[in-house]
Structure 1
Amino acid sequence: MTARITPAEPPFPAGIQSSLDSLMRGKPPLVLFTTLARDPRLFQKFFAGGLLDRGNLTVRQRELVIARTTALCRSEYEWGVHIALFASQVGFDEAQVISLASGQPQDACWSVGDRLLMELCDVLHAHCTVDDALWQSLKSSFSDEGILELLMLAGFYRTVSYLTNALRLPAEPGSASFPSSGRS
């Protein structure tokens, strides 16, 4: 696949290079990042919206929401980056990785808490809102700030999916692919 917009090439402006160095820790920058680096304003706005820092969620909760949202949006680029970097770190087993890509919240591989997050992603994707029953379930498991972060995280990664899909970004080296049983 050929990207629709050519990524920026180094040398990058100092502010962008500093951000890339901090994010990538010695590894080459992702194509998404270098594509956004074409415009310093857009680059900074994108990273100002990022939620990969320590927040109100565990890393597992964060990665479950990212993986499910990007899978629902069919962003194999972003799904593959996060699965490759975080799946083993957060304890996703093979059944869970497959379920994230193409399963259901009721799949036997999920705990009650994980099912709640899967359901949230599915409902937001389908309806762009949360019904009262799901909201009450979220309130029993998360602080108000945690719920805000969940909503922002799902929305941000829907935006990331729009970018990666519309730009037709090629897979990153070493990233995961959707399992063959994944949706088409």
Structure 2
Amino acid sequence: MPRIEPLNPPYEPEIGEALRTWMPPGVAHDPLQLFRVLHRNPELASRMRVLGAGLLAHGKIPDLDREIVIARACALSGCAYEWGVHAATFAGAVGLTGEQIRATVTGDPAPWSAGQRTVIRAVDELHEHAAISQETWKALAEHYDQAQLLEFVVLAGWYRTIGQLANSLELDDEPWATPFPRT
């Protein structure tokens, strides 16, 4: 049971409209629990949506790399909730295999290219040290321009924040989400 109960329908009209903007068109399931809890504070939810939607829909990092960053940041935070949502919703669409999505949790380097291992190493360094080493930064800079490098750091930090939020709220996994691998 979440520490803050998600809103349930029927929603106030402005909340219902706001929740619709958080979900992609044509999605068959209800708005995510995370979104319904955040709308207990609509002003905060509105501010968070701008950054979250911008990173997902208008980012400069390639979609595949974006989802590797998100999955690894969520895995390192132990956030089964958000990891499972992204694994179910985005992983296959961007080309992540089942082996790769599991490896974001287990740390297995086998399914990754050299560039993808650099992405994972950078997320690991941010998680452990709140900084990226000079060596890893240089390797990232071979593939990303300055705008992408800035976005990379914000993306990893944003999903650590989302992981902390979902974990602290003790959200139940979405019923359709991919189960978090137990290592």
Say whether the fold is shared (TM-score over 0.5): yes
Deviation at 1:18, TM superposition (A): 2.8
Alignment of 1:1-184 (within 5 A): 2-9=1-8, 10-14=10-14, 16-24=15-23, 25=25, 26=27, 27-50=29-52, 51-104=55-108, 107-180=109-182, 182=183
Identify unmatched segments of 5+ residues in structure 2: none
**Contact preservation (8 Å) 1:68, 1:118:** yes
Percent identity between matched residues is 38
Deviation at 1:22, TM superposition (A): 2.8
CA distance in 2, matches of 1:128, 1:12: 40
Deviation at 1:54, TM superposition (A): 2.4
| TM-score of the two chains, using structure 2 as the length reference | 0.91
Deviation at 1:13, TM superposition (A): 4.7
Q: SS at the partner of 2:93?
A: helix
Query: RMSD of aligned C-alpha atoms?
Result: 1.4
**Contact preservation (8 Å) 1:65, 1:121:** yes
Q: SS at the partner of 1:141?
A: coil
Instruction: Note the alpha carbon deviations across 1:20-62, whole angstroms, 9 max, x for none.
Output: 2133235310000000001111111211221111221111111
| TM-score of the two chains, using structure 1 as the length reference | 0.90
Deviation at 1:154, TM superposition (A): 0.5
The one-letter code of the counterpart of 1:72 is L
**Contact preservation (8 Å) 2:22, 2:49:** no
Deviation at 1:93, TM superposition (A): 1.6
Give the count of matched residue pairs.
Answer: 177
The one-letter code of the counterpart of 1:56 is K
Greater displacement, 108-117 / 68-77: 108-117
> Structure 1's 137 and 37: CA in aligned 2 closer, same or farther, altered over 3 A?
same
Identify unmatched segments of 5+ residues in structure 1: none
Instruction: Note the alpha carbon deviations across 1:60-102, whole angstroms, 9 max, x for none.
Output: 1111100000000000000000001112112222221221111
**Contact preservation (8 Å) 1:61, 1:114:** yes
